[in-house]
Amino acid sequence: MILPPIPTPFDREGRLDTQAFRELAEALEPLVDGLLIYGSNGEGVHLTPEERARGLRALKPRKPFLVGLMEETVPQAERALLEAQEAGAMALLATPPRYYHASLGEGLVAYYKALAERMPIFLYHVPQNTKVDLPLSAVETLAQHPRITGIKDSSGDLTRLAFYQAHLRDDFRVFTGHAPTFLGALALGAEGGILAAANLAPRAYRSLLEAFRTGRLSEAQALQKRLFPLGNLLSRGGVPLLKQAMRHLGLPAGYPRPPYPQESPIWKEFRPVLEALKEEGWLL
């Protein structure tokens, strides 16, 4: 499966644009297998509770979707849990608590189990943003819970993917969020990708996944190599670069919420990569 973490559109003043949000989701959904709403590239940490609710109400996904959760405590998460349930999300994608992570101890496992009592949960390992490592021992323990059904790992650490394949139950769903190592993650058992780059090149990543699944490995390797600059630069440029690229392609992705910059300092480096892939027919 390929699921893009869709951006949340804000206007230049930082106001949520629900019409653009709906139009963006409707443009992307036919090209992919599902969506992630309010993930890292959806600026979930920048939204007020009221905005989260208003944005979810504006969307009517027909395909499976996840909703990101980046809170610190269960009481903070209650409203988002209820809204994701009411919207029909297949699961919440939850980062670990991070502000007091050094003293969290067994509270980490307790936090995820408390969330899972309310609805299915995907673990979310994204240390480049949270600055917190999700311990493999905790992942192994949590994967035994029947309502903790998967993980998105955006670290790019393929040794972690190897651990998941070797130690977790067969039906535990593993997705990578790291486009530069997408093919390696598939080779280590990942089901698919929840990739920022899939907002720009959904056909390309679905083609890569299909080539791998059908044993056309040389084709998959060539396509991974061709897509590497796209994923690598997006990993560096983050939300400002992704939104700028989507605006360039005519998509209503809006702007990052202030104080984050509206334009990326590496856009000049990224634009030729984008244009070349567009000429080859790999982009939207």
Known binding-site positions for pyruvate: 194
Using DSSP, state whether 16 is helix, strand or coil.
strand
Active-site annotation holder among 38, 111, 112, 124: 124
In 29-117, which residue ranges form alpha helices assigned H by DSSP?
Answer: 49-58, 74-87, 107-116
At a CB cut-off of 8 Å and minimum separation 6, what does 23 contact?
A: 252
Q: How buried is 117 (Cβ within 10 angstroms: 0-12 exposed, 13-18 middle, 19+ buried)?
A: exposed
CA separation for the pair 35, 234 (Å, rounded): 18
Backbone angles phi, psi at 107, to 5 degrees: -60, -25
First to last CA, the chain: 18
Q: Tokens at residue 155, please? A: 């670290």
At a CB cut-off of 8 Å and minimum separation 6, what does 130 contact?
A: 95, 96, 98
Residue that has been written with the tokens 């909703």 in this structure: 67
Active-site annotation holder among 152, 164, 205, 243: 152
CA separation for the pair 152, 178 (Å, rounded): 9
DSSP-derived letter for residue 208 is H
Buried b (16+ CB within 10 A) or exposed e, 183-208: bbbbbbebebbbbbbbbbbbebbbbb
DSSP-derived letter for residue 174 is E
List, as residue ranges, the binding site.
194
278 is catalytic: no
CB contact at 8 A, 43 and 257: yes
152 is catalytic: yes
The residues annotated with a catalytic role in the active site are: 124, 152
